[in-house]
Amino acid sequence: MSELVAATVTKQHPVQRRFIAGGSRMTLSFMEQRPIAVPIKTRLGRLYFYLGQALEAVEEGERFRLRTREYWYRIQQGPGTH
């Protein structure tokens, strides 16, 4: 996912993962010390893009598959994530 986002949105702020709930779940988002919204250039001027994805590792036989539990994104006027 990081490669896709870097090619289409930004290379300055890679998507990073954080593990939660004992390691079987994780979230992906743009991160510095915490999740951030990243600036993007649009024909309307500078806007900020925030994204997050919650994943869970599901055991399938001897392998695991990542399942998306939820995802969210928004375009906003400022860099704040709330």
pLDDT single digits (tens) 54-80 = 888 888 899 888 888 898 999 999 887
Model pLDDT, residue 82: 57
Among 41, 51, 72, 47, residue whose Cα is nearest residue 2: 51
Q: What counts of helices (H) and strands (E) characterise the chain?
A: 1, 5
Q: Is the pLDDT of residue 37 over 60?
A: yes
Contact 79, 30 (CB under 8 A): no
Work out whether the CA dihedral 2, 49, 54, 82 comes out positive or negative.
positive
Q: Quick one: pLDDT band at residue 46, thresholds 50, 70, 90?
A: very high
Strand ranges inside 3-62, DSSP E: 15-20, 25-30, 38-42, 45-60
Whether the predicted pLDDT of 47 surpasses 90: yes
- What's the chain's average pLDDT? 79
